[in-house]
Amino acid sequence: MKLNLQVLGCPKNDADMSNFRGIMSERGHEFVDNPLDSDIVVIDTCGFIEAAKLESIENILSYAHLKERNPSLKVMAVGCLVQRYFSELKKEIPEIDGLISVTSPKRLADLIEKGDLWVYAEPEAVYEFTSRCDALPYAFVKIGDGCDRACAFCSIPSFKGRSRSRPVEDVFNEIHSLVSKGTREVVLVSQDTTQYGLDIYGKQALPELLEAIDRIPQDFWVRVMYLHPDHLTSRIIDAIGSSEHVLPYYDVPVQSGSDRILSDMERRRNSSELVRLFRDIRRRIPEAVLRTTLMVGFPGETRESFEQSLEFVKAVGFNWLGGFVYSPEEGTTAFSRRSTMSQERAQNYLNELLFEQDGISHLLNQRHVGKQKKALIDERVGGMLVGRLYDCAPEIDGSVILSGNASVGDFVNCTITAAEVHDTRGVVNADAKSA
């Protein structure tokens, strides 16, 4: 069977589909780049917010139209949008040939091989590692799925279910396999990594997982994403900061810097407590990198509450910040609340927020200039090496652009010569390979 795979949405989808690709490849199936050359197009969708849903639907319709040129082609969708809207999609998009809401890559492979393309399933256990197929120097590894939080804006628990963790041994085996095959950075993801282990070990077990990963002897980086601020403990902070392989990178989405909005969002910590949390991280781990995410336009948002978020961002001085405009989502407690801001104004506020953050990121980037750094080379573009320093997560933060000789996947020593808003520039040192 020839398959064309389209992965939309977040890194958790990347983790699922890398496993699916590995399983199908081991079974003798072929993945092709041109959908018209395939027997089946598999679209892994996202259903988190309105923009992501629209992108997923547009992709489904776009690939379904290819059947006019190849009548034997089948087009099917999997992933979060299917989990959330299985019946609606089946009714409204008759052009599609299948919908499967299962989350296990192995079970998905079994169903596709059998031709069983219409399957709805309630949230199930996270995948058990068997095989992966990865082409990049970095890989996303899902350590859990689902969420037990009840944030007023978030629909994820309604279709992803309660938090479910993978055993330490299984995650260890997946990472060991990746590293032994040349992966140089492993990015741990789930809806909330601070919840890891609560369901199977009765406690937050992220520190134990990181300790186990540290026993893998090769030279590689580990990065932890999606640390919920309400449950980020000193134990987790120290486990990340004291590890040999785990980078001191703290991705902590706070959503707002306004006490009133945080309360309306049903978040536990107020802005003062959050500022203390981030300052404590930097006190404990001086080389810590801080990243957060803020939402603009939540019901009740005013200019005053937005300016409180701006002041919060200035007070902390994040290395990186992602932002988005609030999307009303059915099934959330905020859905029935009246919006107090137009989309246009919310977008203007978001632009203002990101402009403020750009100045902070640029200032922090300038600290690298003149210093020797370790970089991971991700790709070669136009004769230049493009990679990342430890303070940049793949696909969302900045890059380091280097002149010199190295191969994709190498760790190199480099000297930083210039800093831009998001990126840095430099040269590979004579002792290029990093130990």
Asked if 170 and 198 count as a contact pair (C-beta separation under 8 A), the reply is: no
- The sign of the torsion formed by the CA atoms of 304, 305, 306, 312 equals positive
Phi first, then psi: give them for residue 323, nearest 5 degrees: -140, 155
Asked if 236 and 194 count as a contact pair (C-beta separation under 8 A), the reply is: yes
Of 253, 355, 357, 349, nearest to 301 (Cα)?
349
In this prediction, residue 432 carries a pLDDT of 60
Burial class (CB in 10 A: 0-12, 13-18, 19+), 91: exposed
Calpha distance 432→375 (Å, rounded): 10
Structure tokens that stand for 421 in this block: 């808003």
Q: Which CATH architecture has domain 138-366?
A: Alpha-Beta Horseshoe (3.80)
Pairing of strands 411-419, 372-381: antiparallel
Neighbours of 367 (CB within 10 A): 12
Asked if 42 and 9 count as a contact pair (C-beta separation under 8 A), the reply is: no
Structure tokens that stand for 96 in this block: 């599609």
What's the one-letter identity of residue 16? D
Neighbours of 382 (CB within 10 A): 6
Place of tokens 């191969």: 407
What SS3 class is residue 259? helix
Angle at 22 between CA 35 and CA 222, to 5 degrees: 115
Check if 138-366 and 369-433 are the same fold.
no
Cβ contacts of 182 within 8 Å, gap of 6 or more: 137, 409
What's the one-letter identity of residue 432? A
Pairing of strands 144-145, 221-224: unpaired
In this prediction, residue 340 carries a pLDDT of 80
Of 76, 49, 388, nearest to 247 (Cα)?
388
Calpha distance 127→14 (Å, rounded): 13
State which H helix or E strand residue 105 sits in.
helix 105-114
In this prediction, residue 221 carries a pLDDT of 98
Domain boundaries, the chain: 2-119, 138-366, 369-433
What pairs with residue 44 in β-bridges?
A: 7, 78
Asked if 21 and 52 count as a contact pair (C-beta separation under 8 A), the reply is: no
Asked if 100 and 115 count as a contact pair (C-beta separation under 8 A), the reply is: no
The beta strands (E) that lie in 166-318 are given as 185-189, 221-224, 249-251, 289-296
Label residue 346 left, alpha or beta by phi (over 0 means left) and psi (-120 to 50 means alpha): alpha
Structure tokens that stand for 435 in this block: 């130990």
Calpha distance 69→120 (Å, rounded): 29
Asked if 289 and 249 count as a contact pair (C-beta separation under 8 A), the reply is: yes
In this prediction, residue 123 carries a pLDDT of 72
What pairs with residue 387 in β-bridges?
A: 377, 400
The beta strands (E) that lie in 54-122 are given as 74-79, 98-100, 118-119
Q: Regarding the domain delimited by 2-119, which CATH topology (the fold level of the hierarchy) does it fall under? A: Rossmann fold (3.40.50)
In this prediction, residue 433 carries a pLDDT of 65
What's the one-letter identity of residue 385? L
Place of tokens 């395939």: 38
Distances (CA, A) of 14 to 134, 136, 199, 345: 10, 12, 24, 33
Indicate the CATH number of 369-433 among 3.40.50.620, 3.30.830.10, 2.40.50.140, 2.102.10.10.
2.40.50.140
In this prediction, residue 150 carries a pLDDT of 85
In this prediction, residue 435 carries a pLDDT of 47
* Cα end-to-end distance, the chain, whole Å: 43
Calpha distance 60→290 (Å, rounded): 36
Q: pLDDT 10s digit of each residue in the chain, 435 long?
A: 999 999 998 888 899 899 999 999 999 999 999 999 999 999 999 887 888 899 999 999 999 999 999 999 999 999 889 988 999 999 999 999 999 988 788 989 999 999 989 988 877 767 788 888 888 999 999 999 988 888 998 888 888 888 999 999 999 999 999 999 999 999 999 999 999 999 999 999 999 999 999 999 999 999 999 999 999 999 999 999 999 999 999 999 999 999 999 999 999 999 999 999 999 999 999 999 999 999 999 999 999 999 999 999 999 999 999 999 999 888 899 998 988 889 999 999 999 999 999 999 999 999 999 999 999 999 999 899 999 999 999 999 999 999 999 999 999 999 999 999 999 999 999 876 654
Structure tokens that stand for 382 in this block: 């136009």
